[in-house]
Amino acid sequence: MMKQTLLPTLAMIPFLALAGMLPAQQKSTLDIDPQSNGIVIPDDFAGLSFETASILPDVKGHYPYFSADNRVLIRLFKTLGIKSLRIGGNTSDGASAPIPSRADIDATYAFAKAAGAQVIYTVRLRDSKPEDVISTAKYVVDHYKQETLCLTIGNEPSVYEKEYSKYRDDLQQFMGAISSTSPDARFCGPATTPETGAWAAKFTTDFDSSGKVVAVTQHSYPGGDSRKVNNPAAGRELMLSPDFTGQYQKLYDAFVPSVQKSGLSYRIEETNSFYNGGAENVSNTYASALWGLDYLYWWAAHQASGVNFHTGDKVAAEEQQTLCWYAIFWSKPEGLQINPIAYAIKAFDLGSHGKLLPAKVSLGSSFLSAYAVLGADRRLYITLINKDKNAAATVDVNVKAQSLREKPAEMLLAAPGANIAATVGVTLGDSAISSDGGWDEKWKTVTSKKPSITVTVAPASAVVVKLSLK
């Protein structure tokens, strides 16, 4: 295997689309060479994660989310660029949770096909025996092999298996039993809690040579337990602070070097801001959009194969169902209520198709970040994020290119009054994602004919800049 070199995280500042007086500004520069080698971001990088309970029918026999008839949710998946659907969570692995029927599985995969998403499907490990899951695993593999990235055995097994050695031995039995009836079955794991990243490293060492594992999967909630967030304002500040980034790095250090040595890929298959459903007036605010956009790119820059945000109207906090404050959307009688974090995924979708370029960058603030992606069509997308809610900034963007095919264009991510506590009114390119899952793409032309430009940005905003290189 070729040695992989980690690209540096880029940083700079978004455009300001408003005239008038600005707060104090920080100065930065960003140098980009489109000829540089870079990491290609997988097309299925952006994903969502749902509880297994969410694929069960309601009392009237209707599927609340996943069926080929749910055109609104299918449209939202396509609008956001969601190409990965993970089914798991606590309700996949508790003795009191119903096991989905074949009809439930059929409906889920019919939805996934219509939405263009591959599935990560979790089968039960806790209080279970191999023979209990063979039938379900065989049905999934026999009928939906092409639509399934992998089977995951157990959800967060570090909670109940306690010792890695016990999990390893149990997993070997389950994988062996499933493979005996489904030789084409492929697996992911260990899907452990954020503080047990060392399990993922051990899992990689023990199972990478099996030929059955296609990806190492890990869970991440950098804010920790939402029930400990007693002050929403402090929670929002934490989400946008460099301290959050430190949690990503700590998790990365615990297992990714082992994954990279093995040649396997890795995916953050269940994640969001704070676990146990998120924190009210924190996880459902505009702050989550700024955080989520930077979070997606951080993991892309660190060679993850994807990120699946956990979501749903409710999620299982331990054995109890709780309202999901970090949800991408909430289901309403009139359609979907789109929450701010959805705009992070859409902004990522706009600018992440291609190779992520390295860049020489000079930072004016630790709250500034940016990422440059060159598409196959020679369009360079620079995603710029300013998580500082008090200070504006300027940056000199220096692109090593002769000229442009057309004028630059921008797409601004903003909330009313740059209010990080806003729960409604967020827009991307002056457009809101509608309750039917649609969104109008509106780029704003920038009056420049040069690849190198100077940019000024207001606090608490982000932008995707599009440069069409010759």
Confidence of residue 360 (pLDDT cuts 50, 70, 90): confident
Evaluate whether 427 touches 470 at the Cβ level (below 8 Å). no
User: 396: how many CB neighbours lie within 10 A of its CB?
Assistant: 15
Count of Cβ atoms closer than 10 Å to residue 100 Cβ: 23
Amino acid at 394: T
Beta strands 320-323 and 335-338: pairing type? Answer: unpaired
Using alpha carbons, list the distances in angstroms from residue 333 to 166, 191, 277, 330, 437: 46, 34, 22, 10, 14
Considering the domain boundaries, does residue 20 fall inside one?
Answer: no
Residue 319's pLDDT is 64
Please report whether residue 284 resides in a domain. yes
- For residue 429, being part of any structural domain is answered with no
Q: Which contiguous run of DSSP H or E holds residue 288?
A: helix 286-301
* Mean pLDDT in residue range 93-100: 86
Q: Is the pLDDT of residue 7 over 90?
A: no
Q: What pLDDT was estimated at residue 363?
A: 67
Rounded to whole angstroms, the Cα distance separating 11 from 360 reads 9
299 neighbors 307 (Cβ within 8 angstroms): yes
- For residues 442, 77, 238, 359, the Cα torsion angle rounded to the nearest 10 degrees is -60
Give me the pLDDT at residue 19, please. Answer: 28
CB atoms within 10 A of CB 176: 12
In angstroms, the first-to-last Cα distance of the chain is 34
pLDDT in tens, 283-304: 999 999 999 999 999 999 999 9
Number of domains, the chain: 2
CA neighbours within 13 Å on the CB side: how many for 411?
24
How many helices (H) does the chain have, and how many strands (E)? 9, 24
What DSSP assignment string belongs to 141-191? HHHHTTTEEEEEESSSGGGTT-SHHHHHHHHHHHHHHHHHH-TT--EEEEE
User: Is residue 22 scored above 50 in pLDDT?
Assistant: no
Lowest mean pLDDT among 20-34, 65-79, 89-103, 254-268: 20-34
pLDDT higher than 60, residue 192? yes
Read off the tokens for 127: 């209080």
Q: Are residues 337 and 377 in the same domain?
A: no
- Among residues 351, 372, 389, which one ends one of the domains? 351
Q: Which residues pair with 385 in a beta bridge?
A: 369, 462
* 2 part of a folded domain: no
Q: Residues 6 or more apart from 340 whose CB is under 8 A from it?
A: 284, 285, 286, 287, 288, 289, 415, 422, 423, 426
Range from 6-10, 229-233, 402-406 carrying the lowest mean pLDDT: 6-10
Domain identity same for 225 and 363 = no
- Residue 181, in any domain of the structure: yes
Q: Which residue has the higher pLDDT, 364 or 381?
A: 381
Rounded-to-integer distance, Cα 30 and Cα 25, Å: 16
Do 346 and 379 reside in the same domain of the chain? no
Whether pLDDT at 264 is above 90: yes
Tell me which of 336, 351, 366 is where a domain ends: 351
Residues 6+ apart with CB under 8 A from 171: 125, 153, 154, 189, 190, 207
Q: What is the mean pLDDT of residues 164-174?
A: 98
Q: Is residue 216 part of a domain?
A: yes
For residue 20, what pLDDT band results from cuts at 50, 70 and 90?
Answer: very low
b/e burial code for range 289-312 (CB count within 10 A of at least 16 → b): bbbbbbbbbbbbbbbbbbbbbbbb
Same-domain check for residues 267 and 376 = no
Q: Which domain holds residue 404?
A: 25-40+354-408+446-468
Residue 379 and residue 287 share a domain = no
Instruction: Give per-residue burial for 50-65: e unless 16+ CB within 10 Å, then b.
Output: bbbbbbbeeeeeebbb
Q: Are residues 320 and 402 in the same domain?
A: no
Q: How far apart are CA 18 and CA 457, in angstroms?
A: 9
Residue 309 within any structural domain of the chain: yes
User: What is residue 459's DSSP assignment?
Assistant: S
What CA dihedral angle connects 187, 191, 192 and 198, to 10 degrees?
A: 60
- Does residue 158 form part of some domain? yes
pLDDT mean across residues, the chain: 91
Quote the pLDDT of residue 70: 97
174: domain CATH number? 3.20.20.80
- Assess whether 255 and 402 both reside in one domain: no
User: What is the crossing angle of helices 164-181 and 197-207, to 10°?
Assistant: 50
- Please compute the mean of the pLDDT values over residues 237-250 and round it to a whole number: 94
One-letter identity of residue 322:
T
Measured distance CA(334)–CA(368) in Å, rounded: 38
Cβ contacts of 237 within 8 Å, gap of 6 or more: none
Angle at 196 between CA 193 and CA 200, to 5 degrees: 95
Q: What is the pLDDT of residues 369-387, one digit of tens each?
A: 889 999 999 999 999 899 9
Query: Do 208 and 229 fall within a single domain?
Result: yes
Q: Are residues 229 and 264 in the same domain?
A: yes
Determine the distance from the C-alpha atom of residue 390 to the mean position of all C-alpha atoms in its chain, rounded to a whole number.
Answer: 27
Tokens of 450: 């040069």
- The CATH number of the domain holding residue 376 is 2.60.40.1180
Q: By mean pLDDT, which of 135-144, 263-272, 319-328, 459-468 is the weakest? A: 319-328
Residue at a domain's end among 326, 351, 376: 351
Residue 222 to residue 295: CA distance in whole angstroms:
10
| Pair 219, 321 in one domain | yes
What global pTM score does this model have?
0.93
- pLDDT, average across residues 45-59: 96
Model confidence at 15: pLDDT above 60: no
Both 261 and 374 in one domain: the answer is no
Q: For 276-280, 319-323, 428-432, which range has the lowest pLDDT when averaged over its residues?
A: 319-323
Do 302 and 343 reside in the same domain of the chain? yes
215 with 241: CB under 8 angstroms?
no
* DSSP for residue 368: E
